[in-house]
Amino acid sequence: MKYASFTAANGSPTWGVVVGGTAFDLGPSGADLAPTMRAAVEEGIFGSVTEEQYIAAPAAPEADIEFLPAVTNPGKIICIGVNYKTHQEESGKTGQTAPTVFTRFADTQMGHLAPAIMPRSTTKFDYEGEMALVIGKEAWHVAEEDAWDHIAGYGAYNDFSVRDWQKAASQWIPGKNFPSTGAFGPYLVPAADLGSTDALTLETRVNGETRQKASVADLYFPIPELISYVTGFTRLSPGDVIVTGTPGGVGLFWGEGGLLSEGDVVEVEITGLGTLRNTVELEN
């Protein structure tokens, strides 16, 4: 089943399930099962909603809803850099012995179909198609063999990057935290519904042209290792997000015309998780 966060008919943020092209409101403005997607994860509701629970909830055609980030208010967003060998090779960052980690702020996120805002202070706006996972229970010093039990679900992510700000110093945080540059969605799919992530393919397209394509099995540091490493230095809570890394083919290394311009449409499609689509707009 696909879950999503979106704007309710009364204009308030809510969450629910999307079934057969219809979005059912399970938040305070609807069935009131939990106030947010994060709360649904915390309370163990996410992944267990039944037809009996959602069928009587207020509903709207999926095409009519305004998507919000799949998890609108995560306590932490931990991003992993250069975590596919193809991206390591194109960027010259091979031979890693530990994951490259940076943080993204929750208020920089946006949803499916929302504009990706290109800052006026950059000439190097880029895409990074990735798969994100959401933590399902308290996680601290998690062993690799126990990592899968701590995942609530997965979604597509586009870590839009402001490369000149990112490259200005050794720390990447400024280039990764401009407003409306962290796209997350359209859906959050329960881990139990998805099966093995090794069977998933990630593809990023710009104006219909495939720029990135890789199997999630090609992660340099696999998901269990990432969870174990991250929880070795910070405690994760339900609703927290780990963005697992991007394959080779980012615009910076694509060649002439690889970077993004106003009006470009960027899609990140992952098997079973849907297609996340955003159009680049220039900052007002």
Can you tell me the mean pLDDT for 87-92?
A: 92
Question: So what's the pLDDT on residue 243?
Answer: 98
Does residue 58 share a domain with residue 88?
A: no
| Distance from C-alpha of 160 to C-alpha of 178, rounded to nearest angstrom | 9
33 part of a folded domain? yes
Question: So what's the pLDDT on residue 170?
Answer: 87
Does residue 175 share a domain with residue 221?
A: yes
The three-state (H, E, C) secondary structure of the chain, written as one string: CEEEEEECCCCCEEEEEEECCEEEECCCCCCCCCCCHHHHHHCCCCCCCCHHHHCCCCEEEHHHCCECCCCCCCCCEEEEECCEHHHHHHHCCCCCCCCEEEECCHHHEECCCCCEEECCCCCCEECCEEEEEEECCCECCCCHHHHHHHEEEEEEEEECEEHHHHHCCCCCHHHHCCCCCEEEEEEEEEHHHHCCHHHCEEEEEECCEEEEEEEHHHECCCHHHHHHHHCCCCCECCCCEEECCCCCCCHHHCCCCCCCCCCCEEEEEECCCEEEEEEEEECC
Does residue 82 share a domain with residue 13?
A: no
70 part of a folded domain? no
Question: So what's the pLDDT on residue 157?
Answer: 99
Q: How many CB atoms lie within 10 A of CB 179?
A: 13
Does residue 212 share a domain with residue 104?
A: yes
198 part of a folded domain? yes
Confidence bin at 256 (pLDDT 50/70/90): confident
Can you tell me the mean pLDDT for 35-61?
A: 97
69 part of a folded domain? no
Does residue 86 share a domain with residue 40?
A: no
| Distance from C-alpha of 59 to C-alpha of 37, rounded to nearest angstrom | 17
Does residue 94 share a domain with residue 55?
A: no
- The pLDDT tens digits for 118-170 are 999 999 999 999 999 999 999 999 999 999 999 999 999 999 999 999 999 88
Domain boundary among 42, 64, 86: 64
Does residue 96 share a domain with residue 20?
A: no
Of the candidate ranges 15-19, 70-74, 90-94, the one whose mean pLDDT is the lowest: 90-94
Does residue 97 share a domain with residue 125?
A: yes
Does the reported pTM lie above 0.85? yes
User: Which single residue is written with the structure tokens 């809570």?
Assistant: 237
Mean pLDDT of the chain: 97
Does residue 218 share a domain with residue 153?
A: yes
Domain boundary among 25, 40, 64: 64
Question: So what's the pLDDT on residue 246?
Answer: 98
278 part of a folded domain? yes
Does residue 8 share a domain with residue 92?
A: no
Domain boundary among 38, 64, 90: 64
Does residue 168 share a domain with residue 36?
A: no
Of all residues in the chain, the percent with pLDDT exceeding 70 is 100
Of all residues in the chain, the percent with pLDDT exceeding 90 is 95
- The pLDDT tens digits for 198-253 are 999 999 999 999 999 999 999 999 999 999 999 999 999 999 999 999 999 999 99
Residue 218 sits in a domain whose CATH number is: 3.90.850.10
Report CA torsion sign: 145, 134, 202, 246: negative
127 part of a folded domain? yes
Domains in the chain, number: 2
72 part of a folded domain? no
Does residue 178 share a domain with residue 111?
A: yes
Q: For the chain, state the CA radius of gyration.
A: 18
Question: So what's the pLDDT on residue 255?
Answer: 83
Question: So what's the pLDDT on residue 52?
Answer: 96
By residue range, what is the domain housing residue 53? 2-64
